[in-house]
Homo-oligomer: A and B are copies of this chain.
Amino acid sequence: MTDGVAERSRPRDRILETAQDMFHKHGIKGVGVDAITEAAGTNKMTLYRHFESKDELIVECLRATAAKASRIWDEFEAKHPGDKLAQLHAWVQKASELLSADSRGCDMANAAVELTETDHPARRVIKELKEAQREKLVALCRDAGIGQAELLADTLSLLLEGARVSMQSVGAEGPSAQFVRMAESLIASFRAR
């Protein structure tokens, strides 16, 4: 009967997937565990058998989201093997697609905004994962032959981060609409140096 909720996979996977989706759409503090389990076609007890607390579920969701994002990098390498500059342009393209497709921005950044407690377990992993993403982009810029690779990578990072949050406050017609133009002109400018 497969039920449609999540193709009748194991409860833990359904919970994780549903939680990711609901946290993304409604925010972490905007979703209760009851709502998650119901949407996942299971119940609260089962959730607490697999995750010791909501906080641990949050952390696991962030890790899963980061793992998905990490797979995108593999696509770049697959589509443009060895051509790091083409991969950088693909990164810009992919970022712009994410902006068009979804106005709720980056789950990790959003979580950092929502979870203000400085000792929240999720803060550790957010920082780790964001730093790992930064490393990847720096390496991509450097391998693309750009001199000030760190500076370009950081600038592109801030632009994208800003675009993703700007979409949530002013909407898609705001400054974020110019993201591709900004990013491409930046890359060109750094290459010319």
Q: What is the CA–CA distance of A114 and B110 in the complex, to the nearest angstrom?
A: 8
Tell me if A101 is interfacial: C-beta within 8 Å of chain B: no
Interface of A is mostly: helix
Tell me if A71 is interfacial: C-beta within 8 Å of chain B: no
Q: List 17 A-B contacts (CB under 8 A).
A: A104-B116, A108-B169, A109-B113, A109-B165, A109-B168, A113-B165, A127-B169, A130-B166, A130-B174, A131-B174, A151-B181, A153-B175, A157-B162, A158-B162, A158-B176, A158-B182, A189-B189
Where the two chains meet, the residues of A that have a C-beta atom closer than 8 Å to any C-beta of B are 25-27, 29-30, 104-105, 108-110, 112-114, 116, 126-127, 130-131, 134, 151, 153-155, 157-163, 165-166, 168-171, 174-176, 178-179, 181-182, 189
